[in-house]
């Protein structure tokens, strides 16, 4: 991307701001420039924030963004893969912890991953807050330079899978080429597989080890009784059923470690026999065989026959970990979780600002000279944080489409005798998982 295209991207982004656009765009530039900001109001001390500090909170109270237009701009400027390469996207859900925000509505229980030393270390430890579902374009090598296509909150009346399906239905038809979508074990759900099969995309989903698949039923033998509905069984936890794969591939991965891949074609599950699946088994003999480095992994592939082959598609899954790195950059460097905004709609607006800055840094990597500290490795590919430091140096050259602030005069203040009532408190929404019935026949 050249300098002029980057300016056009910024101008089109500003056009999606329907209210408080000047303050919101100042926040974008301040978030880029203030790389050492440790608090939300500290962003207002940037030279690019032309307003007073309280305008920051007013912007997220009054601001509005056209989400549909913003989504189209993200797709318009997204980095395309090299000729002959696949467009690979990924979806995941991350937690925004708000355990003590009693005045914030629509909080739900969420698992606590980083358990403090003072708390009991149990796998069932939970906290409270919001969840956000994100769809990104993955880079060709695993890194935090992901590109966000859509980011939205999971409301209490919906499940994570339902929100992800809504995002895919909106985004995938707008993409310039058929993508390969990668998903972790949280998306091991037959209903989700059926929804993915109706979209113009391919999907690779990691499986849990308690799944069972079947081959097509054999022809009717002519004997009395109903014909068989299922053929040979493939039970992931039973090695005795793994004897007859339809294909085998042996080789090395990009780090020259040995990999063995087996796959079974034309498989189905009992509650959706019409859905044609390919089950893949990946064996890495050199793995340490723990939770973070398993020796055996199972996947299901849904979609067209890949030109690269099933084995290559299975090796693509390692790129999905780049989304975890992208989340870490957003939370640790871009301070995604830092503002204590009360309403979820205000935090939705802040999440879009973080996504805009994240994508702007990725798009500017070809024209920005990364700024490294003396102790940082100069031989590695620049990180988004190093690119962010360099981007802050050229912001004056890029200019800003935001208008100069206008003086509003003095506020009249509260009327005499006004009573200040305490903010309302909201209970945590303890929702139950909504089970969606899987269609038994092929949908129209």
pLDDT, position 219:
87
pLDDT in tens, 63-76: 999 999 999 999 99
pLDDT, position 384:
92
Tell me which residue of 178, 139, 42, 126 sits closest to 361, measured CA to CA.
139
Rounded to whole angstroms, how far apart are CA atoms 43 and 33?
A: 9
* DSSP track, 313-364: HHHGGGGGHHHHHHHHHHHHTS-TT----SSHHHHHHHHHHHHHHHHHHHHG
Eight-state DSSP code of residue 257: -
Rounded to whole angstroms, how far apart are CA atoms 389 and 186?
A: 35
Residue 160: is its pLDDT beyond 90? yes
pLDDT category of residue 188 using cuts at 50, 70 and 90: very high
Rounded to whole angstroms, how far apart are CA atoms 322 and 305?
A: 25
What mean pLDDT do residues 117-125 have?
60
The rounded mean pLDDT for the chain is 90
Residue 352: is its pLDDT beyond 90? yes
pLDDT category of residue 338 using cuts at 50, 70 and 90: very high
pLDDT category of residue 225 using cuts at 50, 70 and 90: confident
Is 316:180 a contact under the CB 8 Å cutoff?
yes
Rounded to whole angstroms, how far apart are CA atoms 417 and 118?
A: 46
pLDDT category of residue 90 using cuts at 50, 70 and 90: very high
pLDDT in tens, 307-322: 888 999 999 999 999 9
pLDDT in tens, 21-32: 899 999 999 999
Rounded to whole angstroms, how far apart are CA atoms 229 and 272?
A: 12
% of the chain exceeding 70 in pLDDT: 94
CA 256, 259, 265, 269 torsion-angle sign: negative
Q: What is the CA radius of gyration of the chain?
A: 25
Half-sphere exposure of 54 (CA within 13 A, CB side): 1
Angle, in degrees to the nearest 10, between helices 344-363 and 3-15: 170
Q: Is 180 left (phi over 0), alpha (psi -120 to 50) or beta?
A: beta
pLDDT in tens, 393-416: 899 998 889 888 877 777 777 888
pLDDT, position 191:
94
As beta bridge partners, residue 17 has 65
Exposure letters 51-75 (e unless 16+ CB within 10 A, then b) = beeebbbebbeebebebeebbbbbb
CA 193 to chain centre: 18
How many residues in total does the chain contain? 444
In three-state secondary structure terms, 274 is strand
Chain position carrying tokens 């895919």? 168
What mean pLDDT do residues 159-171 have?
95
Rounded to whole angstroms, how far apart are CA atoms 196 and 198?
A: 5
pLDDT, position 434:
61
pLDDT, position 439:
67
Both tokens of 299, joined, read 């996947």
As beta bridge partners, residue 258 has 252
Residue 11: is its pLDDT beyond 90? yes
User: Any idea where the domains of the chain sit in the sequence?
Assistant: 3-201+303-398, 205-217+230-302
Both tokens of 369, joined, read 């000279």
What mean pLDDT do residues 161-185 have?
95
As beta bridge partners, residue 108 has 129
pLDDT in tens, 229-250: 899 999 999 999 998 899 999 9
CA 51 to chain centre: 32
Residue 120: is its pLDDT beyond 60? no
How deeply is 212 buried, as exposed, middle or buried, from its count of CB atoms within 10 A (0-12, 13-18, 19+)? middle
Tell me which residue of 403, 308, 351, 297 sits closest to 65, measured CA to CA.
351
Eight-state DSSP code of residue 291: S
- Residue 72's φ and ψ, nearest 5 degrees, are -65, -35
Is 209:298 a contact under the CB 8 Å cutoff?
yes
pLDDT, position 252:
87
Is 302:202 a contact under the CB 8 Å cutoff?
yes
Is the pTM higher than 0.85? The answer reads yes
- Residue 281's φ and ψ, nearest 5 degrees, are -120, 125
pLDDT, position 386:
92
């Amino acid at each position: 991307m050249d300098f002029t295209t980057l300016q056009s991207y910024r101008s089109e982004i500003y056009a999606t701001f329907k209210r408080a656009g000047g303050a919101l765009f100042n926040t974008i530039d301040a978030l880029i420039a203030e790389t050492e900001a440790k608090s939300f109001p500290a962003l207002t001390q940037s030279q690019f924030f032309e307003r007073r500090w309280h305008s920051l909170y007013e912007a997220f109270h009054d601001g509005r963004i056209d989400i549909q237009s913003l989504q189209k701009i993200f797709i318009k400027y997204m980095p395309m893969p090299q000729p002959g390469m696949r467009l690979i996207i990924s979806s995941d859900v991350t937690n925004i912890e708000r355990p003590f925000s009693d005045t914030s509505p629509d909080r739900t229980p969420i698992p606590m991953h980083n358990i403090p030393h003072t708390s009991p270390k149990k796998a069932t430890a939970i906290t409270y807050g919001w969840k956000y579902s994100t769809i990104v374009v993955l880079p060709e090598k695993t890194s935090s330079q992901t590109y966000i296509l859509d980011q939205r909150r999971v409301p209490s009346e919906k499940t994570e899978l339902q929100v992800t399906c809504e995002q895919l239905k909106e985004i995938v038809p707008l993409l310039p080429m058929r993508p390969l979508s990668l998903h972790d074990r949280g998306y091991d759900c037959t209903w989700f597989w059926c929804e993915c099969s109706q979209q113009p995309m391919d999907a690779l989903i990691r499986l849990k080890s308690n799944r069972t698949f079947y081959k097509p039923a054999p022809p009717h033998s002519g004997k009395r009784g109903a014909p068989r509905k299922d053929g040979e069984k493939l039970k992931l936890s039973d090695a005795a059923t793994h004897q007859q794969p339809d294909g085998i591939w042996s080789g090395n991965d990009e780090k020259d470690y040995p990999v063995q891949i087996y796959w079974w074609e034309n498989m189905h599950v009992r509650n959706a026999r019409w859905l044609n699946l390919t089950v893949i088994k990946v064996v890495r003999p050199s793995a340490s065989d723990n939770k973070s480095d398993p020796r055996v992994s199972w996947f299901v592939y849904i979609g067209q026959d890949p030109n690269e082959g099933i084995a290559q598609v299975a090796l693509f899954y390692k790129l999905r970990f780049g989304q975890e790195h992208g989340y870490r950059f957003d939370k640790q460097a871009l301070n995604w979780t830092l503002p204590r905004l009360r309403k979820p709609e205000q935090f939705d607006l802040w999440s879009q600002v973080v996504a805009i800055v994240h994508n702007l840094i990725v798009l500017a990597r070809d024209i920005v000279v990364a700024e490294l500290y003396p102790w940082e490795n100069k031989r590695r590919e620049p990180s988004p944080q190093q690119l962010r430091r360099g981007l802050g140096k050229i912001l004056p050259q890029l200019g800003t489409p935001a208008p100069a602030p206008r003086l509003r005069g003095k506020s009249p203040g509260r009327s005499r005798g006004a009573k200040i009532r305490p903010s309302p408190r909201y209970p945590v929404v303890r929702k139950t998982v909504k089970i969606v019935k899987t269609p038994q026949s092929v949908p129209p």
